[in-house]
């Protein structure tokens, strides 16, 4: 009997050890956002399942595609923006998801897709330092960002054409509802005006925070969540919501990844409204499961991109337009930066 019990204990130990040893790698945007993901999702997920979660950054599309095509897949779950999601789905980079049990109707429109489950809304906003211009008296619109006589000082924008073309057209007076299809020539003509004042093309959210923290730029285009997080640390900066350029992130599973089942468990775990509320309150990004707002105080909800008041004059990025035109636009953008 003792031998039987001993053997059973060994088997149980082996099963437990195997479960605890399984690790999935999640590629997201790094910095404070990855820390928020870890607190809201990863730590409780590991406690419940024994599956460890390791975060890396950031979701570079070329690297994602190279991993799948070479069969050497390092990332299990990736969090691309809507542009990367649409392109990756078209290029066949993602595993189809098991969507059973996910409350689709609770999510924002388009939040649940065959290959992706949305996590957060985030937005590119006008932001400025309040030690340069007092709160409420700084640049409030994209036209103000372009007005370097009224608001002199260095600017910073994202390193991609993505979101900057939209901002340029808004600065040129195009209504949010008429941004797409993008008039590329008009957008670049407007960008020409701002270019002499752009001192930094930031590459990710952490870099954007560093730019504002170090006073490398006084205003420009920044993710609102990153700026609110920075303000919480005492850096004098505020985002404005007028003309926000809004994006939607998705969690996807790379085709051929090593831990597909565990990755699927993790993605389903993130759809819970209470967990999404925790992520939203830690990151200031809007939850994609609208039931999450039941658990977010109103004063915080008003600082999130998906709050109805903040969406009134917002532009939602059209991933399909970028899938069709992204390659040529990116080539022109890179050449423009080098001029």
Domain boundaries, the chain: 24-120+248-308, 122-246+316-338
Q: pTM surpassing 0.85?
A: no
- pLDDT score of 19 more than 50: no
Mean pLDDT of 7-36: 71
- pLDDT score of 92 more than 50: yes
Cα R_g (the chain), whole angstroms: 22
Mean pLDDT of 4-12: 48
Do 24-120+248-308 and 122-246+316-338 have matching folds?
yes
- pLDDT score of 284 more than 90: no
In this structure, the dihedral spanned by the alpha carbons of residues 175, 178, 183 and 184, taken in order and rounded to 10 degrees, is 70
| Alpha-carbon distances, residue 250 vs 42, 97, 221, 317, 325 (angstroms) | 16, 12, 22, 14, 21
Per-residue confidence (pLDDT) for residue 14, from 0 to 100: 47
Mean pLDDT of 159-176: 97
Per-residue confidence (pLDDT) for residue 58, from 0 to 100: 86
With contact defined as beta carbons under 8 Å apart, do 166 and 318 qualify? no
With contact defined as beta carbons under 8 Å apart, do 165 and 187 qualify? yes
Mean pLDDT score across all residues of the chain: 92
- pLDDT class of 18 with cuts at 50, 70, 90: very low
- pLDDT class of 30 with cuts at 50, 70, 90: confident
Close Cβ partners of 221 (under 8 Å, ≥ 6 residues apart): 124, 125, 126, 127, 145, 156, 157, 158, 163, 164, 167, 245
Per-residue confidence (pLDDT) for residue 306, from 0 to 100: 83
Per-residue confidence (pLDDT) for residue 20, from 0 to 100: 52
With contact defined as beta carbons under 8 Å apart, do 255 and 97 qualify? no
- pLDDT score of 51 more than 90: yes
CATH superfamily of 24-120+248-308: Periplasmic binding protein-like II (3.40.190.10)
What is the β-pairing status of strands 77-78 and 23-28? Answer: parallel
CA distance 162 to 329: 9
CATH topology (fold) of 122-246+316-338: D-Maltodextrin-Binding Protein; domain 2 (3.40.190)
In this structure, the dihedral spanned by the alpha carbons of residues 229, 230, 235 and 239, taken in order and rounded to 10 degrees, is -80
- pLDDT score of 13 more than 50: no
- pLDDT score of 6 more than 50: no
- Higher-scoring residue by pLDDT: 9, 31: 31
- pLDDT class of 293 with cuts at 50, 70, 90: very high
With contact defined as beta carbons under 8 Å apart, do 188 and 336 qualify? yes
- pLDDT score of 5 more than 60: no
């Amino acid at each position: 009997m003792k031998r039987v019990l001993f053997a059973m204990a060994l088997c149980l130990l082996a099963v437990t050890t195997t479960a605890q040893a399984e690790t999935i790698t999640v590629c997201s945007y790094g910095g404070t956002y990855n820390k928020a993901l870890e607190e809201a999702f990863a730590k409780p997920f590991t406690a419940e399942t024994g599956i460890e979660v390791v975060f890396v950054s950031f979701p570079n599309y070329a690297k994602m595609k190279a991993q799948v095509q070479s069969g050497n897949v390092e990332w299990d779950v990736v969090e691309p923006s809507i542009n990367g999601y649409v392109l990756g789905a078209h290029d066949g980079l993602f595993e189809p998801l098991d969507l059973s049990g996910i409350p689709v109707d609770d999510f924002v429109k388009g939040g649940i897709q065959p290959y992706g489950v949305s996590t957060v809304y985030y937005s590119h906003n006008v932001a400025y330092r309040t030690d340069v211009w007092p709160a409420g008296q700084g640049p409030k619109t994209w036209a103000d960002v372009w007005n370097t006589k009224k608001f002199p000082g260095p600017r910073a924008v994202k390193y991609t054409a993505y979101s900057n073309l939209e901002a340029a057209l808004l600065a040129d007076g195009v209504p949010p509802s008429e941004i797409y299809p993008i008039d590329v020539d008009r957008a670049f003509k407007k960008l020409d005006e701002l270019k002499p004042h752009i001192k930094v093309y930031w590459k990710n959210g952490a870099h954007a925070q560093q730019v504002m923290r170090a006073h490398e730029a006084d205003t420009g285009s920044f993710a609102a969540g990153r700026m609110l997080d920075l303000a919480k640390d005492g850096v004098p900066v505020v985002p404005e919501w007028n003309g926000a350029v809004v994006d939607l992130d998705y969690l996807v599973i790379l085709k051929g990844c090593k831990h597909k089942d565990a990755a699927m468990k993790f993605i389903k775990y993130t759809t819970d409204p209470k967990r999404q509320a925790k992520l939203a309150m830690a990151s200031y990004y809007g939850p994609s499961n609208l039931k999450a707002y039941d658990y977010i105080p109103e004063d915080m909800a008003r600082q999130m991109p998906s709050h109805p008041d903040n969406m009134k004059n917002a532009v939602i990025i059209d991933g399909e337009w970028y899938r069709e035109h992204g390659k040529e636009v990116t080539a022109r953008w890179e050449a423009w930066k080098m001029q």
